[in-house]
Amino acid sequence: MRQFHHMTKLRITKILGLVIALGMSASASAQMMINGAGATFPYPIYSKWFDEYAKVDPSVRFNYQSIGSGGGQKQILAQTVDFGASDGPMSDENLAKAPGKILHIPTVAGAVVMTYNLPGSPSLKFDADTIAGIYLGQIKKWNDPKLTALNPGLKLPDQEIVVVHRSDGSGTTFIFTDYLSKVNAEWKQKVGNNTSVNWPAGIGGKGNEGVSGQVKQTPGAIGYVELIYAIQNKMPYAEVKNAAGQFVKPTIESVTAALATADIPEDFRFSMTNAPGKDAYPICGATWLLVYEQQKNAAKGKKLVEFLKWAATKGEGMAKSLDYAPLPDNVQQRVLKRIDEIKM
């Protein structure tokens, strides 16, 4: 008899647990989940936007997987997410594979910085040829004459350079290789510009997180990451010689200067590396949200559009606090018009 009581008690507890769980999932399902995936470059600002937007519209939650731009492009093509995110615009070839028209919605611009791990964290200067030489595996030591010539007065160590690059399909890589392809003929011919390339040298890290982690723990390492990752990890980053021959530090201002000269076409797919202005930082780019013009799910589409409009206005105001450059006002207006073209 006692055993029977025990069993019944267990069952009642289980049933109660189930009822509570069902009740909870019923209230949770009233909250719409919008899924996105892609770029790690804008992840710090997107996380902030999604948190802030939950206060604006508590009925919607964003689930964003920071998997790299290559993954973001693949997932929006496969329609496994409601939006993709990429710092390299999609190619004509990839857009042609899509089951519907994909819109590029630019959000913010950021700097790709050269960060390194050297004793005393000196402030270094690089130019196009030294960056290309290091990543082509031709400049192998920190005290190479090309580096010492750019950094007079600094005692650079007789230490191997450990090159770190992305291992995943990456928009940060797209911006970095877009820059190198514009400024170095050998790079353009041997390696080229893409979200993934055949690296002539170095070790891989996954995401901006992985590259900054590898550089931080590897003496003599150099890597390329979005500015905020270097700042948050308290890592040094270099001044880079721009198209006008000036050494420029990556900052919101120098990214804004590059963005000001960008020729932004009707479809918003543009490059802003190696910009001509004397104040422009040369290795920077925009980042885009990728959405279908024709939304499959009207309820989700409506919520996504409301969020995009908020991001293109209120969200832009949060960019500088995380060291991204907001879009100029005239571009914001164009983006809002594009968002209006999304159909349910």
For 34-95, the DSSP string reads EEEEE-STTHHHHHHHHHHHHHH-TTEEEEEEE--HHHHHHHHHHT-SSEEEESSPPPHHHH
3-state secondary structure of 307: helix
C-alpha dihedral (114, 119, 120, 122), degrees to nearest 10: -30
- Give me the residues paired with residue 102 across strands: 292
CATH T-level assignment (fold) for domain 34-108+289-339 = D-Maltodextrin-Binding Protein; domain 2 (3.40.190)
Q: What is the DSSP letter of 318?
A: G
* Token code pair at residue 19: 């009822």
Which of 322, 337, 333 shows the shortest CA–CA distance to 42?
322
What is the domain partition of the chain in residue ranges? 34-108+289-339, 111-284
**CATH class, range 111-284:** alpha beta
In the chain, the N- to C-terminal Cα span, in Å, equals: 61
Model pTM score: 0.86
122-145 pLDDT, tens digit per residue, is: 999 999 999 999 999 999 999 999
3-state secondary structure of 126: strand
Q: For residue 31, what pLDDT is reported? A: 85
Q: What is the DSSP letter of 294?
A: B
Q: For residue 241, what pLDDT is reported? A: 98
At position 314, the amino acid (one-letter code) is K
- The Cα–Cα gap between 207 and 166 comes to 7
* Token code pair at residue 10: 């267990």
Q: What is the DSSP letter of 326?
A: E
> Is residue 102 a contact partner of residue 189, using CB atoms and an 8 Å limit?
no
Q: What is the DSSP letter of 222?
A: E
Q: For residue 5, what pLDDT is reported? A: 52
> Can you give the pLDDT of all 344 residues of the chain as single tens digits?
555 455 444 454 454 455 444 444 444 456 899 999 999 999 999 999 999 999 999 999 999 999 999 999 999 999 999 999 999 999 999 999 999 999 999 999 999 999 999 999 999 999 999 999 999 999 999 999 999 999 999 999 999 999 999 999 899 999 999 999 999 999 999 999 999 999 999 999 999 999 999 999 999 999 999 999 999 999 999 999 999 999 999 999 999 999 999 899 999 999 999 999 999 999 999 999 999 999 999 999 999 999 999 999 999 999 999 999 999 999 999 999 999 999 99
Q: Which element (helix H / strand E) includes 242?
A: none
> Is residue 177 a contact partner of residue 192, using CB atoms and an 8 Å limit?
yes
* Token code pair at residue 148: 């010492």
- The Cα–Cα gap between 116 and 2 comes to 69
Which of 327, 286, 291 shows the shortest CA–CA distance to 307?
291
Q: For residue 1, what pLDDT is reported? A: 52
Number of helices and strands (H, E) in the chain?
A: 13, 12
- The Cα–Cα gap between 105 and 262 comes to 16
User: Do the domains 111-284 and 34-108+289-339 match in fold?
Assistant: yes
Query: Which residue shows structure tokens 């939950």?
Result: 54
178-198 pLDDT, tens digit per residue, is: 999 999 999 999 999 999 999
